[in-house]
Amino acid sequence: MHARWPALLVLVLAAAAPATARAAAIVEARDRDGLYRVRFRYQPVIAAERVALAGTFNNWDRARTPLADPDGDGAFEAVVPLAEGIHQYKFVVNGSTWITDPDAAERAPDGHGGENAVLRLGAADGKAATLQHEASPRFVHRAGADLVIRLRAPRGDASRTGVAVAVAVAGAGETPMECVLADDGGADWLEATVPGAPRDARYVFKIAGDKRPSWFGPAGLAEKKPREGFREPPAPARAFETPEWVRDAVFYQVFPERFRNGDKANDPQGPTARPWGAKPANDSFHGGDLRGLIEKLDYLTDLGVTALYLNPIFLAASNHKYDTADYLKIDPAFGDDATWKELVRELRRRDMRVILDGVFNHTGDEFFAFEDIKKKGRESRFLDWYFVREFPVVVKKDPGYECWWGFGDLPKLNVENPTVRAYLMDVGTRWIEAGADGWRLDVPNELPHGFWVEFRERVKRARKDAYIVGEIWNDATPWLKGDQFDAVMNYPVRDACLAFLARGETDAATFDRHVGRNRLAYPRPAVEVQFNLLGSHDTPRLRTLAGGDARRARLAQAFVFTYVGAPVVYYGDEVGLEGEKDPDCRRCFPWEEAAQDGATLDWVRRLAAIRRAEPALRRGPFRTRLARGPLYVYERGAAAGGAAIVCVLNAGEAEVEVPADAIGAGPFTDLLTGKPWTGRIPGIGAAVLKSSP
């Protein structure tokens, strides 16, 4: 699948024949511009006036991609052009009922207790019929002055034993390629980093076996070196640079209403008020605030935290504050502008950062513009700030206006309106100028890409090292090309980590393929600052998902603290706090020492300290050394003058002797225990090894 594929390719992705299928996604052709023509078909099982397609490719817009039933047989169809990559989708019946394709070969969690259908196209489809390379960030991109080049080769072909593969870059010579992933499609991914490669680089691949070398270029394999090579894609207007400070960061996510009550004067009143530590409900208030956060900054510093992610802190009616009433005002239940300024001051004094939650897809129903529409109806000058279909405007479930997932108190903003867009851009820069170090963006897949391109430009202009991270639950390729986000909440790695380490459901080889595929999906500047979480306000807690097993929860924590990207601790996970899905995962922090798991708290402190002390864990390249059964061994290469680090994880119950060739020449010290490495790893155990003097 190189750059000159034939114009027509037929690939059936649903087994059932169209005549009898309830649903299907069939790739009919690939156009010369590289887009796949995919025919989506759905036969509703409920009375349907209309059917649409919503997915990652149209920002989950339930109306943008309608399906038609021109012959009246009850089957709705549409042909949709899609780019290579991993796409997720659902069918939307009658504008409100979301249906997962029942015949999809692959599914993924949708983050709301259901599943999305998954469609893989091109290099993402798991097939490797020939050598693959093309002008996309997955295969070629810049990382600073270096040029990163990748080649996908069928296993047993260009990557077989005895075959050396190099990339020959004009003006930079030949650079050997290394296999960095054996994917589950029967292929190997080879990678080379070419330091100081000239801009607009031209290159070909050299495959040297037992006989004379062969060459791979845009026209395919050849016996002689091609005169025309691949060409580096045009450089973007602004180089993809991600904040350097994030590479050193340990993040801590705070749900402000549940972290700590520091100001009794703004405590909740009325029937929804609950005492601290009481079981949370969807509408309960417990009194957490920014004053409480300020009081516990020394605790967070001692834990090893260097950056905070705060769930929304702006004026809103709910406890979660995703129903914004005023983007420019701190909610009085949390404090005021003076409290915010004090928080920023105290963070700076401790060399800590803070990113805020940006909710720009929708507002609350008490936001000034929507309030005006409720009062004035069609006469409101803010009518085109939203998508209103019916009058009078009544707030209810599935109302007469577009809203987030049918919740009437969350009306959807019309960000294509220049006035709305300008307002939100000003909000984005206003809080950066007020001391925030970046934004975590809520449901960004529900807004057009152009909005985020402009948002990045504005925010980076206000502060070059601002961190922009999006809440994308699956493949995030469209957002991580350098023109929108720096990183995303890395839910795919979290899911793989939970399955292997926290639950013991998969083996090391499967885990390695999952995290490796994720690592190769994006340009290196994004990979190095990924937001690597194990839980959040939207998921059951880590300890709960580990079946209450503290050992397994700690094993998962050991991985994220030693992996590429920024580790994230969801408040309370460091003391073993449990909780099922929302609202139970939003329990109050247990500040009484007797209610805390001291061993896990010490564990997280130790992991953070080791990461802070070892440059390899923050900037070193990642390489798998062994992935077999329950045993996973990987290396973080030497960086910034520090030594390489070898990490060993055992997800099995039995103690295991680790092959010496997977570790390398010793002796080693296990930084987690401070003791010499014995060569054995206990069941459900971890070791972080450094060469002893």
The residues carrying an active-site annotation are 442, 471
Residue 439 and residue 466 in contact, taking contact as beta carbons nearer than 8 Å: yes
**Displacement of CA 16 from its chain's centroid (Å):** 33
Residue 244: C-alpha distances to residues 293, 353, 486 (Å)? 26, 13, 11
Exposure b/e, 643-663, CB count within 10 A at least 16 = b: ebbbbbbbbbeeebebeeebb
Residue 684 and residue 555 in contact, taking contact as beta carbons nearer than 8 Å: yes
**Displacement of CA 175 from its chain's centroid (Å):** 31
- Give CA–CA dist 680/656, Å, rounded: 6
| Residue 5, token pair as written in the block | 């594929």
- Give CA–CA dist 431/458, Å, rounded: 12
| Residue 586, token pair as written in the block | 């939003």
- Give CA–CA dist 559/511, Å, rounded: 12
Residue 325 and residue 335 in contact, taking contact as beta carbons nearer than 8 Å: no
Residue 605 and residue 575 in contact, taking contact as beta carbons nearer than 8 Å: no
Residues in the chain: 693
- Give CA–CA dist 298/572, Å, rounded: 16
| Residue 58, token pair as written in the block | 């149209």
Residue 200: C-alpha distances to residues 176, 229, 238, 525, 687 (Å)? 20, 12, 15, 19, 43
SS3 593: helix
- Give CA–CA dist 312/293, Å, rounded: 14
- Give CA–CA dist 286/272, Å, rounded: 9
CA torsion, ordered 122, 123, 125, 128, to nearest 10 deg: 110
Cβ neighbours of 537 (radius 10 Å): 19
What DSSP string runs through 357-378? EE--SB--TTSHHHHHHHHHGG
49 strand-pairing partners:
none
| Residue 149, token pair as written in the block | 């080049």
- Give CA–CA dist 125/561, Å, rounded: 31
Cβ neighbours of 178 (radius 10 Å): 13
- Give CA–CA dist 140/548, Å, rounded: 43
- Give CA–CA dist 418/428, Å, rounded: 15
Specify burial of residue 337 (Cβ count, 10 A radius: 0-12, 13-18, 19+): exposed
Nearest Cα neighbor of 26 from 37, 9, 39 is 39
